[in-house]
Amino acid sequence: MYTKYYRLDKKPFQLTPDPEFFFNSPVHKRALSYLRYGLTQGEGFIVVTGMPGTGKTMLVKALFQALRDENIVAGLMVTSQVGAEDTLRIISATFGLSYDGDDKATLLRNLEYFFKEKAREGRRVLLVVDEAQNLPLQSLEELRMLSNFEINGRPLFQAFLLGQDEFRLSLQRDQLSQVRQRVIATYHLRPLTVEETEDYIFHRLKLAGWRRDPAFSPEAFPEIHEFTQGVPRIINTLCDRLLLFCYLEELHEIDQSVVQSVIEEIKEELPDTSKSISTDGRTQKEAMSETLLEQQIVSGQIVDPHLLERIDRLERGLNELRGVIQKERALLRKAVLLQLDMDAIYEIDQKDVMANLAVSDRATGKKQSETAPQVSTENADQDS
């Protein structure tokens, strides 16, 4: 729609991360520097955290582009709630190794052989873990164990861990003290300032072939920043709506009033939460208060030992349930295979029975055909 109207080469504010649009803001430049520092060290973990939408995935893609000319075998692992062995399987799959049906010992042996083979080729193995806050504690321990592989004192494996704010809290648990000892640098991605937000918008517009149509008035940027809080993903969403609004209204300037109009439209599309009740019976205000408390806990302002203990209990319960489910799947798989075998045997037995019946029918027919003329002759003699 608006791309043709404003003679743009492409959409400047698409939500899908595209490294071509990477904005090297001071905060993202610093984060990349930490990642490159980690590469020079060749060991340990580098941890980068940030709230959703601050550009962690874009950072990963920009890093991978920079690694094309390096002697590094890099793999990207986007995590979910998986167990320890499943984590090893995902890592194996990431680097193109066998994983289906292999036990933990086999998975570790294959990974160690792969790491050593790449070391003999003069290359290092790097795993970038996105959404690292979803990794259970045991999976983080497995990553630590992989970092122990070495040849002549030279590490064979390195990991960059990128996650949301709560990942910083996870790393502070007592069970992860050895993992923390492997972390050589950490960095937290903050949202953009007002000035950085303005530079970010112009950066993306210029890469899309913007010809200053529509123009942005200086008063528009504080409004954009206040609504988006400097989060790049939300900035993209709002600016995309701004361009669509201007196209529909045939406008060629985005000023403060236009931004306010679009923000009001977005707010009208959202449900009224002032008096709404959440699914667990709490009012929206109570839910927001608890969310604020959780954010304070994540940021380190409040550390609730009871909450940490509860999380540990829940994770242990989940791991037990995963074990039960895996056993039930194995039993179900055996039952299905047994049923298939029984069906095959039954089908073979049916074919044998039908074949025997066919032979019997042919034999009976032959006997009847042989006795039929004798009966007719005897009847003829009797008639005469």
User: Where do the domains of the chain lie, and which CATH numbers do they carry?
Assistant: 26-189 (3.40.50.300), 193-273+280-294 (1.10.8.60)
Q: Check pLDDT > 60 for residue 58.
A: yes
Give CA–CA dist 15/241, Å, rounded.
12
What's the pLDDT score for residue 100?
A: 77
pLDDT level of residue 72 (50, 70, 90 thresholds): confident
pLDDT bin (cut points 50, 70, 90) of residue 37 is: confident
Which residues have CB under 8 Å from 369's CB, separation 6+?
none
Arithmetic mean of pLDDT, 289-300:
45
Tell me the pairing of strands 150-151 and 154-155: antiparallel
pTM of the prediction?
Answer: 0.66
List residues bridging with 155 in a β-sheet: 150
- CA 28 distance to own-chain centroid: 22
Tokens of 302: 């409040």
Lowest-confidence pick of 28-32, 176-180, 328-332: 328-332
- Residue 20 pLDDT > 90: no
The confidence score (pLDDT) of residue 43 equals 86
Residue range 374-380: mean pLDDT, rounded: 44
Residue 343 has pLDDT above 80, yes or no: no
Residues contacting 112, CB < 8 A, separation 6+: 149, 156
Instruction: Name the residue among 61, 107, 67 with its Cα closest to residue 83.
Output: 107
Cα–Cα distances in Å, from 269 out to 94, 122, 266, 284, 368? 41, 56, 5, 17, 88
Quote the pLDDT of residue 12: 94
299 CB contacts (<8 Å, ≥6 apart)? 165
**CB-based contact 151:163 (threshold 8 Å):** no
- Residue with the larger pLDDT of the pair 361 and 170: 170
**Which residue would you say has higher pLDDT here, 188 or 324?**
188
Give the separation between CA 78 and CA 162, rounded to whole angstroms.
10
At 77, give phi and psi (nearest 5°).
-120, 115
